[in-house]
Structure 1
Amino acid sequence: MEFEGTFTIDDVSTEEVWLALSDPVLIKQSLPGCQFLTRVEDPNDVDFEALRESAPDEDPATLPEADPEDISERAFEEGGHYAALMQISVGSVKPSFRTVVTIDEREFPAMNASGEGSATDSSFEMSSGMTLVEADEGVDIEWEAEADVFGKIAQMGQRVISPVANRVVSRFFGSVEDRLTEVAEEDDSEGLRDRVRNLL
């Protein structure tokens, strides 16, 4: 299955959107049903139960409260592997997918990733990419994804899966937009924005 679209965020810079979408903490908070998202060294040897138990009760600060330099230090790295546990409602089932994603390419303003996940009776493989394009009023996030789904969920068909995927994407980008809107509303928004631009 293939998905693609463009999500526009007004009154932001490409640098601000890039920093937000490079922050594993903000991504975890923005993805519906994501219980943790953490870097791992060996994608073939991930103890998801241990990662779930060791996940902090509270996440570190993100934009606009976090220091942009701190976000830059923990940002996704090209070639890095990241493990996540995600629960997604598909029809009448709520599988928890143990997922490992690899950042294949990351160079401003584009990032590509691939990964796979498995749950009871279901699994998937995916590749995705995004490019940030400066627009008249803000930034266009042009994104695409290709996914192969197997097992019980695959039997539900694209008619059931596509609306779920679109809902997840919409909620994800909506959450990112809300966070970036908070940046613009900060008392020292220009100072914060200058610091973000200077990181790139």
Structure 2
Amino acid sequence: MEFDGTFTIEDVSTEEVWLALSDPILIKQSLPGCQFLTRIDDPDDVDFDALQEAEPEEDPVTLPEADPEDISERAFVESGHYAALMQISVGSVKPSFRTVVTIDEREFPEMNATGEGSASDSSFEMASGMTLVETDEGVDIEWQAEADVFGKVAQMGQRVISPVANRVVSRFFGSVEDRLTEVAEDEDSSGLRDRVRNLL
């Protein structure tokens, strides 16, 4: 299955959107059903139970409160591997996918990743990418994803899966937009914008 689209965020810079979408903490908080998202060393040896138990009760602050330098230090790394636990409702089932994502390419303003996940009776493989395009109004996030789904979820068919995927994407980008709107409304946003630009 293939998905793609463009999400527009107004009154922001490409650097601010890039910083937000490079922050694993903000991504985790913005993805519906994401219980944790953490960097790992070996994608073939992941103890998801231990990672879930080690998850702190409170996340570090993100935009607009976080320092851009702190976000830059924990940002996604090219060739880095990340483990996530994702619970997604698809029709009558609500599987929890143990997922490993690899950042294949990350160079402003483009990022590409591949990943795979498995639940008790379903699994998936995916490749995704995004490009940020500055416009007169703000920033267009051009994104695309290709996914192969197997098992019980796959039996439901694309007519059931596609609306779920679109809903997750819409909620995700909507949450990111809310954070960036807070940044734009902050009285010190111009100073923050300069600090973000200086990081890239």
TM-score (norm 1): 1.00
Gaps of 5+ in 2: none
Q: Residue 91 of structure 1 corresponds to which residue in structure 2?
A: 91
User: How many angstroms apart in 2 are the aligned matches of 1:111 and 1:190?
Assistant: 26
Name the SS for the 2:166 alignment partner: helix
Q: Residue 46 of structure 1 corresponds to which residue in structure 2?
A: 46
1:187 and 2:187 correspond = yes
Q: Residue 6 of structure 1 corresponds to which residue in structure 2?
A: 6
1:180 positional shift:
0.1
1:164 and 2:164 correspond = yes
Runs of 4+ in 1 over 6 A off after TM superposition: none
User: How many angstroms apart in 1 are the aligned matches of 2:120 and 2:187?
Assistant: 48
User: How many angstroms apart in 2 are the aligned matches of 1:15 and 1:193?
Assistant: 8
Q: Residue 34 of structure 1 corresponds to which residue in structure 2?
A: 34
User: How many angstroms apart in 2 are the aligned matches of 1:188 and 1:75?
Assistant: 22
Give CA-to-partner distance per residue, 1:8-63, whole Å, 9 cap, x none.
00000000000000000000000000000000000000000000000000000000
Q: Residue 196 of structure 1 corresponds to which residue in structure 2?
A: 196
1:115 and 2:115 correspond = yes
Q: Residue 147 of structure 2 corresponds to which residue in structure 1?
A: 147
Name the SS for the 2:131 alignment partner: strand
Give CA-to-partner distance per residue, 1:79-121, whole Å, 9 cap, x none.
0000000000000000000000000000000000000000010
Aligned residues: 200
Name the SS for the 1:153 alignment partner: helix
Q: Any residues of structure 2 matched to 1:63-78 within 5 Å, and which?
A: 63-78=63-78
Supply the AA of the counterpart residue of 2:142: E
1:179 positional shift:
0.1
Q: Residue 135 of structure 2 corresponds to which residue in structure 1?
A: 135
Name the SS for the 2:171 alignment partner: helix
Supply the AA of the counterpart residue of 1:137: E
1:187 positional shift:
1.7
Q: Residue 80 of structure 2 corresponds to which residue in structure 1?
A: 80
User: How many angstroms apart in 2 are the aligned matches of 1:154 and 1:148?
Assistant: 8
User: How many angstroms apart in 1 are the aligned matches of 2:197 and 2:108?
Assistant: 12
User: How many angstroms apart in 2 are the aligned matches of 1:110 and 1:129?
Assistant: 7
1:136 positional shift:
1.3
Supply the AA of the counterpart residue of 1:186: D
RMSD over equivalenced CA pairs, Å: 0.4
Name the SS for the 1:60 alignment partner: coil
